[in-house]
Structure 1
Amino acid sequence: MSSECKACGAQVTDEATTCPSCGAALAAKMKLLPLAAFMLIVILIIQSYITKDEAGSATVEPAAPASSAEQ
């Protein structure tokens, strides 16, 4: 697959770092997979802290047993 040079408009392969026609530097394409993996890990860590806090603060105290005099 090829792309187009922003400076001169010549066709450039994706592996090239400079344009073979004019010598202009080509912008490096950002890899999406490492960024997506990092964001997934961050989201999972945040979610684990949120669920841990909710489970710890929502303790239910047992009701006092009814005495036989109240029945």
Structure 2
Amino acid sequence: MSRECKACGAQVTDQATTCPSCGTALAAKMKLLPLAAFMLIVILVIQSYINKDEDGSVAVEPAAPTSSAEQ
């Protein structure tokens, strides 16, 4: 596959780091997997904080005091 140089419009191969026509440095393509992994981690961290807040809001009822006669 080939891509187009943004400076001069020439067709450049995917492996090239510079344009053979004008010599402009070409930007590396961003890989999708690291971005997807980062987004998944962010979502899981946010979800854990949301779930932690819900667990903390549960009210704990104190036990009824026992009298000495019941013991």
Compute the displacement of 1:59 (Å): 2.7
**What is the TM-score when the length of structure 1 is the normalising length?**
0.73
- Percent identity for Structure 1 against Structure 2: 87
Q: Which residue of 2 aligns with 1:16?
A: 16
Structure 1's unaligned 5+ residue stretches are: 65-71
How many pairs align?
63
Aligned to 2:46: 46
TM-score by length of 2: 0.73
Counterpart of 1:3 in 2: which secondary structure? Answer: strand
Q: CA RMSD in A?
A: 1.8
Deviation at 1:15, TM superposition (A): 1.2
